[in-house]
Amino acid sequence: MGGVTSSIAAKFAFFPPNPPSYKVITEESSGGKLIIPEVPRRGDVDVLKLRTRRGNEIVAIHVKHPKASATLLYSHGNAADLGQMFELFVELSARLRINLMGYDYSGYGQSTGKPTECNTYADIDAAYKCLKEQYGVKDEQLILYGQSVGSGPTVDLASRLPTLRGVVLHSPILSGLRVLYPVKRTYWFDIYKNIDKISMVTCPVLVIHGTADEVVDWSHGKQLWELCKEKYEPLWLSGGGHCNLELYPEFIKQLKKFVQTLGKSKSGGTNTNGPKKSTVESDTESKPSDSGASDTFELGADVPEVSRNSLDSRLEKSKKPNKPEKSRMSTDRVDRFRRRKGLVW
């Protein structure tokens, strides 16, 4: 029954970029090392192919930081792939001083198979297994990060790992059906039932959501935060949309604070919870910055010429700092029904 449910829901939930923004090739001159030619070559980045328990082969990248205090496992949104997320991953690793692994779901990028709910659970499990076996990461060192639909596999895995260091939920969903309709109960055909699983997550949880999110309403993030056992100070970005939160200075500041607080907790036994406030950040503090401040992302000149669904052009956003992000549906070439329903999580 679960497989049938996921197959039906996949038609509405998954929009892998078509064509993919990258390729994976084997470089014989470097001993068979895998590389992505569309992104800059870096010695601190490994490109991997991982076999999942459902028989698919997914692509992942691991970014290493020389002074890493933790490892972050990033599950991206539903309309992006690794080629489009690459620069953000490198930037987050550098800013937060962490190792970072990102992966493509089955059917995304150069990963084989089809995108379904069940497959994404197997995909994140394969990435988690790789971190433990190949990189020696312990649960106490691991932070799970789920963006939008990526909150589904993130919460599922977190609910099964009692000793995680932390979880970040970025524009998360209560469930797939609740993105479309304000239902009061969970139905058998729903997918990514985060609302029913979040209470099983025992580590500190940081929730980040834009108050003007036009795709996944802010109420999703607020309710998930309220249901968390270990609440960390949330970040409600005033005027923030669904795809532009990385451009707000508070975004990276709060992530840094979260990572550092968790690190101190593990080393010194201090309280992991920040103040449990749920107030909206002020407009003055929360607007995207185009002033070049140190806590905003400055995208490099060597970025591959591809559309980035989860972190769109820095230049375009800096021209219109006060307007919420528009939906990515035209980029994804979805049909009229999907456009009307706003199905880009």
Q: Which domains, from first to last, does the chain contain?
A: 2-341 (3.40.50.1820)
pLDDT at 28: 86
- Cα separation values, 278 from 101, 182, 206, Å: 30, 22, 12
Please answer whether residues 108 and 16 qualify as being in contact, where contact means their C-beta atoms are separated by less than 8 angstroms.
Answer: yes
Q: Indicate the SS3 state at residue 329.
A: helix
- The values of phi and psi at residue 103, to 5°, are -145, 155
106/113 Cα distance (integer angstroms)? 5
Q: What digits encode the pLDDT tens for the residues 46-93?
A: 999 999 999 999 999 999 999 999 999 999 999 999 999 999 999 999
Q: What CA–CA distance (Å, rounded) separates 273 from 206?
A: 9
- Please give the pLDDT value at position 5: 53
Place of tokens 């009229």: 336
Q: State the pairing for strand pair 99-103/57-63.
A: antiparallel
CA dihedral 114, 343, 171, 293 (to 10 degrees): 100
| C-alpha angle 253-255-260 in degrees, rounded to nearest 5 | 95
Q: Please calculate the CA angle 133-39-90 and round it to the nearest 5 degrees.
A: 55
For residue 337, give Cα distances in angstroms to 73, 156, 175, 307.
33, 29, 20, 23
The residues, any chain, with a CB within 8 Å of residue 165's CB and separated by 6 or more, are 70, 139, 140, 141, 142, 143, 203, 262, 266
Using only C-alpha atoms, the chain has a radius of gyration, in whole angstroms, of: 19
Q: How far is CA 309 from the centre of its chain?
A: 12
Q: Is the peptide bond before 324 cis (omega within 30 degrees of 0)?
A: no
Quote the CA–CA distance of 305 and 278 in Å, as a whole number. 39
CA angle 94, 331, 183 (to 5 degrees): 90
At residue 327, the pLDDT reads 36
SS (H, E, C) 244-272: CHHHCHHHHHHHHHHHHHHHHHHHHCCCC
Backbone phi, psi, residue 316, to 5°: -65, -40
- DSSP state at residue 71: E
Q: Which of 94, 203, 194 is nearest to 148 (CA)?
A: 194
pLDDT tens track, the chain, 345 positions: 555 555 556 666 899 999 999 999 999 888 889 999 999 999 999 999 999 999 999 999 999 999 999 999 999 999 999 999 999 999 999 999 999 999 999 999 999 999 999 999 999 999 999 999 999 999 999 999 999 999 999 999 999 999 999 999 999 999 999 998 889 999 988 999 999 999 999 999 999 999 999 999 999 999 999 999 999 999 999 999 999 999 999 999 999 999 999 998 766 544 444 444 433 343 334 556 544 445 655 544 343 433 344 433 333 333 334 443 333 333 333 334 344 444 455
Contact 92, 100 (CB under 8 A): yes
Q: Phi, psi (5° rounding) for residue 95? A: -70, -40
Q: What is the pLDDT of residue 204?
A: 98
Q: What is the DSSP letter of 168?
A: E
Task: Provide the pLDDT for residue 282.
Answer: 34
* Residue positions annotated with a catalytic role: 148, 213, 242
Instruction: Supply the pTM of this predicted model.
Output: 0.81
**Is 216 in contact with 172 (CB distance < 8 Å)?**
yes
